[in-house]
């Protein structure tokens, strides 16, 4: 009781001090507060319905419909490493998602029995390797940087996954033991083909709902963009037919319940994180956060270890919606940013953000989250420095 009262008193003191010393006369501070709200609104309008909600339903489907045996076969401790890491490291190529949208999918496979290493490789690769972002990087920022991003993201996802698996081998083995010793295998109510079509349909809804406009008029990407909502409606219709014909009402109810469980865990932390990211750095290209953009540009010129490290740190804490990192980098490169730091930011930025760190912490715990963030920053720094040296 006494400890609880001290916690309440501490919270009251913090709120009082913040209110008392809040610099409301500072245009930078009030602008950053407004920017945080703008960023939250932008995230809600552009990403929650089209990105996050489909991803949550996919995560719920993974958690309920995919058997533990299937997850263990490809991602568990007994799976062949080359299979697990190959599948995890290239999976992002079909998912045009940001660091926040991939979180429900990561939570789904991790809680279903995937090993820490392959699950982390998937967590990193999901937002880092999507084919649209890499092609846009090559087209706008240059083929060398686009190729370096593609190779660096695949290599880093495997390296970081292997290091996480090695560092936390004992803890993860104990966790996976609980999945291995579960009783009898789960009986499948649908054929493999039906399950495959169901998940392909869900992923296609996510991909087309998040399809962005290309900078090249008349391109195939723009043609798809012009009809994307017709495609989404068609896919939703197919999903409804599948649910009616292949699934029992109880299964659909459990799927929704599983999705709701992920939503309760992830959405509040994401919204808090987006607010914080907006307050600190502002929306991309606005220079309205509490940290002025000129200081960001000042410290990432050249190709020193410091410049690459700071670019990795900046990328890790900023929030990048899908594909927004490319125009941001275009602006920074025009202001004197080095090629090495640019790659470092491309490798750390899409894979991490302040909102995603909060959610990863709720899934993995502080020790594993700190280790993962540290590895992403360090590996991105090294890759950026090497690329800058040979560019």
Q: What is the pLDDT of residue 183?
A: 45
Q: Which residues of the chain have pLDDT under 70?
A: 1-4, 63, 66-74, 76-79, 91-101, 130-133, 135-136, 178-188, 215, 284-285, 296-297, 320-324, 327, 330-331, 334-336
Q: What is the pLDDT of residue 321?
A: 63
Which tens digit of pLDDT belongs to each residue from 134-159? 766 777 778 888 889 888 988 999 99
For residue 115, what are the contacts with CB-CB under 8 A and spacing of at least 6? 75, 76, 77, 79, 84, 165, 172, 176
Cβ–Cβ < 8 Å for 182, 68: yes
Cβ–Cβ < 8 Å for 379, 156: yes
Q: What is the pLDDT of residue 369?
A: 94
């Amino acid at each position: 009781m006494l400890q609880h009262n001290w916690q309440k008193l501490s919270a009251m003191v913090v709120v009082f001090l913040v209110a008392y010393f809040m610099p409301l006369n500072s245009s930078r501070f009030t602008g950053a507060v407004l920017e945080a709200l703008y960023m939250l609104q932008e995230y809600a309008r552009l990403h929650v319905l089209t990105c996050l909600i489909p991803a949550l339903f996919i995560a719920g489907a993974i958690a309920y419909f995919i058997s533990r045996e299937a997850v263990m076969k490809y991602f568990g401790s007994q799976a062949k490493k080359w299979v697990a890491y190959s599948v995890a490291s290239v999976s992002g190529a079909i998912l045009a998602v940001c660091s926040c949208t991939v979180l429900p999918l990561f939570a789904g496979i991790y809680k279903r029995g995937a090993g820490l290493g392959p699950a982390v490789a998937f967590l990193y690769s999901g937002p880092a390797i999507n084919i649209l972002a890499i092609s846009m990087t090559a087209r706008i920022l240059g083929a060398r940087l686009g190729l370096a991003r593609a190779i660096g993201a695949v290599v880093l996802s495997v390296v970081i996954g292997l290091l996480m698996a090695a560092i936390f081998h004992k803890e993860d083995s104990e966790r996976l033991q609980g999945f291995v010793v579960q009783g009898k295998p789960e009986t499948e109510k649908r054929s493999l083909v039906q399950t495959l079509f169901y998940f392909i349909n869900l992923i296609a809804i996510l991909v087309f709902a998040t399809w962005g406009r290309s900078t090249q008029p008349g391109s195939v990407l723009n043609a798809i963009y012009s009809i994307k909502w017709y495609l989404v409606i068609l896919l939703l219709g197919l999903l409804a037919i599948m649910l009616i014909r292949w699934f029992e009402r109880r299964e659909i109810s459990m799927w929704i319940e599983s999705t709701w469980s992920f939503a309760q865990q992830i959405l509040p932390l994401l919204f808090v994180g987006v607010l914080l990211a907006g307050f600190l750095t502002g929306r991309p290209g606005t220079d309205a956060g509490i940290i002025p953009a000129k200081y960001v540009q000042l410290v990432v010129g050249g190709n020193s270890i410091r410049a690459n490290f700071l670019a990795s740190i900046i990328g890790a804490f900023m929030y990048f919606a899908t594909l927004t990192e490319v125009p941001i980098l275009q602006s920074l490169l025009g202001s004197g940013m080095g090629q090495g730091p640019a790659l470092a930011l491309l490798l750390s930025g899409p894979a991490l953000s302040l909102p995603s760190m909060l959610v990863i912490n709720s899934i993995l715990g502080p020790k594993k989250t700190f280790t993962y963030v540290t590895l992403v920053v360090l590996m991105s720094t090294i890759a950026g420095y090497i690329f800058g040296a040979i560019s």
